[in-house]
Amino acid sequence: MKKYLVQFKPFLIFVSIFFLTYIVLTLIYKFYLNSYQAEDLDGVTMMCGRNSEQLLKLLNYDIIIQKSSQNPWQEIILNGKYIARITEGCNAVSVMILFVSFVAAFSASFKKTFLFIILGLLSIYVLNVIRISLLIVLVYNFPQYTQFLHGTFFPLMIYGYVFILWIFWINRFSKYAK
């Protein structure tokens, strides 16, 4: 048994750090969400909606993204037409938790790891705002593709980006890069 523990030590360390980080961050996020009333929407999701609205207004779209008066989501109105809603799941925090857990499990020096996590989280957030904005415009113009865009293309976009960040991290900065 000891032989296998020694042989698989790097893998076991990776899995332990990954799951410990993932569980801790998920619990912190769960406590954060529980601090809001059932009919309220968390601050990160509100900020994603606000930034998506600002981006689309910058691009001269007639857009209103507003908190629903009775439900925990934001309503999206483009050119006077209700398009969709932004819910807590749209804020990409769960993707960010996966990203941080993986990078932590393949950590390098504290400084490199911390900087990569901060820059990665910022880039994931910006990509998510762009993703939401693009989804709004595409759903408005091509409503027949809503299911594909929302359920396949855009998740692939954000998870694909995170996968590229992971590969970059492993090959350039992690302790296994050499």
Mean pLDDT, residues 22-29? 98
Report how far residue 32's alpha carbon sits from residue 4's, in angstroms, rounded to the nearest whole number.
40
Confidence of residue 176 (pLDDT cuts 50, 70, 90): low
Whether the predicted pLDDT of 172 surpasses 90: no
pLDDT over 90 percentage in the chain: 79
Q: What is the pLDDT of residues 141-162, one digit of tens each?
A: 999 999 999 999 999 999 999 9
Q: Which residue has the tokens 């996968």?
A: 163
Indicate the pairing of strand 74-78 with strand 63-67: antiparallel
Show the domain range for 109. 2-172
Residue whose pair of structure tokens reads 């809603």 in the numeric block? 85
**120 pLDDT tier (thresholds 50, 70, 90):** very high
Domain-embedded: residue 70:
yes
Query: What distance in Å separates the CA atoms of residue 89 and residue 112, rounded to the nearest whole number?
Result: 29
Give the whole-angstrom CA distance, residue 151 versus residue 136. 14
143 belongs to a structural domain: yes
With 80 as the cut, is the pLDDT of residue 175 above it? no
Query: Is 45 part of a structural domain of the chain?
Result: yes
Flag whether pLDDT at 38 surpasses 90: no
Sheet holding 63-67, edge to edge: 63-67, 74-78, 81-86
- pLDDT tens, position by position, 99-110: 999 999 988 789
Q: Is residue 177 in a domain?
A: no
DSSP 8-state class, residue 80: T
Residue 147: predicted pLDDT = 95
Q: Does 178 map to a domain?
A: no
Prediction pTM value: 0.92
Q: Is residue 80 over pLDDT 70? A: yes
Helices (H), the chain: 2-7, 9-34, 43-58, 93-105, 110-141, 146-148, 154-172
pLDDT (mean) for 30-46: 90
Contact residues for 55 (Cβ-Cβ < 8 A; gap 6+): 129, 130, 133
Task: State the pLDDT confidence band at 177, using cuts at 50, 70 and 90.
Answer: low
* CA angle 119–177–19, rounded 5-degree value: 65
Q: Which two tokens stand for residue 177?
A: 């890069």
70-90: average pLDDT: 94
Per the structure, the count of domains in the chain is: 1
Structure tokens given for 159: 């998870």
